[in-house]
Amino acid sequence: MTHENHRRWQMLAIIAILALVLWRLGPMLMPFVMAAMLAYLGDPLADRLERLRMSRSLAVSIVFLVLILLLAGALLLLIPLISRQVENLIQNVPRYVDWAEHTAWPWLQVKLHLDPRTFDSDRMIATIKEHIGSVSGIAGQVLGKVSRSGLGFVLWLTNLVLIPVVTFYLLRDWDRLVAAIDRLLPRSIEPTVAYLARESDAVLGAFVRGQLLVMLALGVYYGGTLSLVAGLSVGVLIGMVAGLLSFVPYLGFITGFGASIIAALVQYGDWSHVLIVCAVFVVGQLLEGYVLVPKLVGEKIGLHPVAVIFAVLAGGELFGFLGVLLALPAASVVMVLLRYLMERYRQSELYTEEGEADPAIHEVEVAIEVAVGASGGLKTVNVTEAASDDPSPKP
């Protein structure tokens, strides 16, 4: 085994060990991941304040205070609003059950030619009533269980307190951590990794900040229009859920549209309000597709909807809620790596004839040289040099 192959196997082993450790520690990583996301969101603002000749500590303190005030304001605004919406929903549960039993189910039996002996509507409705009736007590049961379990309550409270503490320290030392990671990289691959890190940062910045704004805008739009225009009593709650789920393509639209149609039929029982709901979601889709996503997210991510759905499902299967939270950011970084590997493949002898390099790769080489050369202390080499089999550092 050559020295180069030995080094590659070492790097693969290190990556595999890190992935195994992250997988095993997944349940306890939630506060640290949340803190890292908040620090990542706040770092650009802290850098701007530093350019105004503020010290890092003062800039971080201002950004941290702004984040705390925004989160506290959102909680103070949303918790009473959600409580009223949930209370309204629970009060209308009998109307929904009655509509399902005497309107929706008989209509489905007629239209789909269902055999009543095969599909026992009474048993189904009884099951729905049983589960819906327990919804109002779920919060109390969860809080009661947590309060009875002293250890569980302490762990929950510890995780809650850890998030702002870890956020502050990560935000304060963000640049130092990035520099430390840069110093640990093998010198032969440092320029390529630096270039890929900058590309990934651009994609992540576009996704995280842009997608959060899209979710917020859609939640406000759907909640406001469903409540004020369509007149739905639970319109705000449906709009918030639709906006929250909009990070998965069409999931927020499908969920919000289906729930709004049912709410309009139960509350009003006419087709005029159903048409209003349809118009609200058609305008919402046009707003999302032609205004919000192009303006706020842009085209840098370029993930296919099927890839997004796969990433979310795979992340949830492997790491639970933490995996769902990190699925799309991780997928966007993987996309950057795949683009780079595709360019490397296009310049290889496997793709070109007689080893002729693809002219398009020259643009990537120049981009890497410019991006790496613009940062202090990094060497300016091209893709071919960075990926060379020669283990010695390149000049």
Distance CA 15, CA 386 (A): 19
Closest CA to 156 of 28, 326, 64: 28
How far apart CA 179 and CA 308 sit, in angstroms, is: 31
Q: Which has the minimum average pLDDT: 3-7, 123-127, 274-278?
A: 123-127
Per-residue pLDDT of 254-267, as tens digits, reads 999 999 999 888 88
In terms of phi and psi (left: phi > 0; alpha: psi -120 to 50; beta: otherwise), the region of 304 is beta
In the 8-state DSSP scheme, what is residue 291? I
Q: For residues 166, 77, 45 and 331, what is the CA-based torsion angle, rounded to 10 degrees?
A: 70
pLDDT in tens, 237-254: 899 999 988 877 788 899
Residue with token string 């040099």:
385
- pLDDT tens per residue across span 71-129: 888 888 888 888 888 888 888 778 887 787 777 777 777 777 766 655 555 665 566 55
Pick the most confident of 48-62, 116-130, 186-200, 351-365. 48-62
* Residue 226 burial class via C-beta count within 10 angstroms: exposed 0-12, middle 13-18, buried 19 and up: buried
For residue 293, report the phi and psi dihedrals to the nearest 5 degrees: -65, -50
The highest-confidence range among 174-188, 353-367, 376-390, by mean pLDDT, is 174-188
Reference 34, options 156, 171, 212, 164; nearest CA is 164
Does pLDDT of 281 surpass 90?
Answer: yes
The least confident of 55-69, 75-89, 216-230, 354-368 is 354-368
Of 146, 152, 163, whose CA–CA distance to 31 is shortest? 163
Per-residue pLDDT of 23-71, as tens digits, reads 777 667 778 888 888 888 888 889 899 888 888 889 999 998 988 898 8
Residue 156 token pair: 């929950």
Position 388 scores a pLDDT of 43
Both tokens of residue 157? 């409270």
Give the Å distances, CA to CA, from 282 to 163, 232, 253, 275, 285.
39, 17, 9, 10, 5
- What is the rounded CA–CA span in Å between residue 24 and residue 13? 16
Give the dihedral sign, CA 186/192/194/199. Answer: negative
